[in-house]
């Protein structure tokens, strides 16, 4: 899965380059010899200062170009694609999060669905350009049978965010069918690791436990998640970039699940502090269980997830403590 021939001498355009997954991918691409064009609008979904710090190292690299633009802006995105003519577009930019999407559905539809359509429409002017589109395990919605397979019915999303991600997959398939574009949609499961967004559970729980503040836990702690470590996520994305041909939807996860109460226990033990629990009813839109079947990823990508939650949390907390001291 780790070939250097593809990355050396190529140009990759990454939307959402200053976000969690984006900045980790940018750094990996630069380390492997690609020229990278990062696009980000530095919106206030979470602190723009955090996003700018995420790309600070990349900005020191001569092979990195940062474009501050909204993916919904046709002129700016058209200029970016026409100027740099990327071999691959990795489309990560989106308004993320299940719970916030219930409060601002129109914002999610505009940025996720309209923004993705704008990008696909512009990318089709470059017939040799491949598109890797970030989707989400949230599209599995009300499915109760785990592990989740890509051929499952996903017509019953239970959040606006999930609905927008499924709509992006459908639009991607339509562009492939009509225009012959090579597009692969990657369904990320719950990604975590260094530079994780501060609002996501592992980062938020770590910070609150460390500060002695209560953490809100929805439900009785029995919900489970397939936590995908960022290095495995990036490896999967880079393998998809190399092999993208035609249209595919592919899960990226670790194939392991962790109960919510066990996650809190592990974080408490690692921090050496007791978690204070503010227990609330299960939140509308939350899935009870997720787990990826990565058989297809293994076959098409040579994907082999290898970061167990114990090691991943150790690395994350090491990053958190180092960041906190800087």
Q: pLDDT tens digits, residue range 28-67? A: 999 999 999 999 999 999 999 999 999 999 999 999 999 9
The alpha carbons of the chain give a radius of gyration, in whole angstroms, of 19
Q: What is the pTM of this model?
A: 0.95
CATH number, residue 57: 3.40.50.720
How many domains does one find in the chain?
Answer: 1
Please check whether residue 275 lies inside any domain of the structure. Answer: no
Q: pLDDT tens digits, residue range 275-284? A: 999 999 987 8
Question: Which helix (H) or strand (E) element contains residue 324?
Answer: helix 309-325
Please check whether residue 318 lies inside any domain of the structure. Answer: no
Please check whether residue 37 lies inside any domain of the structure. Answer: yes
Please check whether residue 248 lies inside any domain of the structure. Answer: yes
Please check whether residue 265 lies inside any domain of the structure. Answer: no
The tally of CA atoms less than 13 A away on the side-chain side of residue 32 is 20
**In which band, very low, low, confident or very high, does the pLDDT at 325 lie, cut at 50, 70 and 90?**
low
Is residue 6 flagged as an active site residue? no
Catalytic residue among 6, 108, 140, 161: 161
Instruction: Please determine, for residue 209, whether its predicted confidence score (pLDDT) is greater than 60.
Output: yes
Please check whether residue 5 lies inside any domain of the structure. Answer: no
Q: Can you read off the two tokens belonging to residue 95?
A: 């308004």
Q: pLDDT tens digits, residue range 127-183? A: 899 999 999 999 999 888 899 999 999 999 999 999 999 999 999 999 999 999 999
Give me the domain span that covers residue 95. 11-196+229-254+291-305
Comparing 4-13, 302-311, 314-323, the range with the smallest average pLDDT is 4-13
Please check whether residue 315 lies inside any domain of the structure. Answer: no
Please check whether residue 169 lies inside any domain of the structure. Answer: yes
CA dihedral 8, 14, 17, 20 (to 10 degrees): -90
């Amino acid at each position: 899965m780790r070939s250097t021939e593809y990355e050396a001498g190529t140009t990759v355009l990454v939307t959402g380059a200053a976000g969690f997954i984006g900045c980790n991918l940018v750094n990996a691409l630069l380390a492997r010899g690609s020229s990278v064009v990062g696009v980000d609008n530095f919106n206030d979904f979470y602190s723009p200062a955090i996003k700018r710090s995420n790309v600070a190292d990349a900005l020191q690299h001569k092979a990195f170009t940062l474009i501050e633009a909204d993916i919904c802006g046709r002129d700016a995105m058209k200029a970016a694609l026409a100027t740099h003519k990327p071999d691959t577009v990795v489309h990560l930019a989106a308004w993320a999060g299940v719970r916030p999407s219930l409060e601002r559905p129109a914002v999610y539809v505009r940025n996720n669905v309209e923004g993705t359509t704008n990008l696909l429409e512009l990318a089709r002017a470059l017939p040799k350009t491949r598109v890797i589109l970030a989707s989400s395990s949230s599209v599995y919605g009300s499915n109760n049978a785990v592990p989740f397979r890509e051929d499952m019915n996903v017509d019953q999303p239970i959040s606006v965010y999930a609905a927008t991600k499924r709509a992006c997959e459908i639009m991607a398939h339509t562009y492939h069918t009509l225009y012959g574009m090579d597009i692969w949609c990657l369904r990320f499961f719950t990604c975590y690791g260094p530079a994780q967004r501060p609002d996501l559970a592992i980062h938020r729980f770590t910070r609150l436990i460390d500060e002695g503040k209560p953490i809100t836990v929805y439900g009785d702690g029995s919900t489970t998640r397939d936590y995908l470590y960022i290095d495995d996520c990036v490896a999967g994305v880079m393998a998809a970039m190399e092999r993208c041909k035609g249209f595919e939807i592919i899960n990226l996860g670790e194939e392991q699940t962790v109960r919510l109460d066990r996650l809190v226990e592990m974080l408490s033990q690692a921090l050496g502090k007791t978690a204070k629990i503010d227990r609330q009813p299960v939140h509308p839109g939350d899935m009870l269980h997720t787990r990826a079947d990565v058989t297809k990823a293994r076959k098409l990508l040579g994907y082999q997830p290898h970061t167990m939650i114990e090691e991943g949390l150790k690395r994350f907390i090491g990053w958190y403590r180092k960041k906190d001291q800087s």
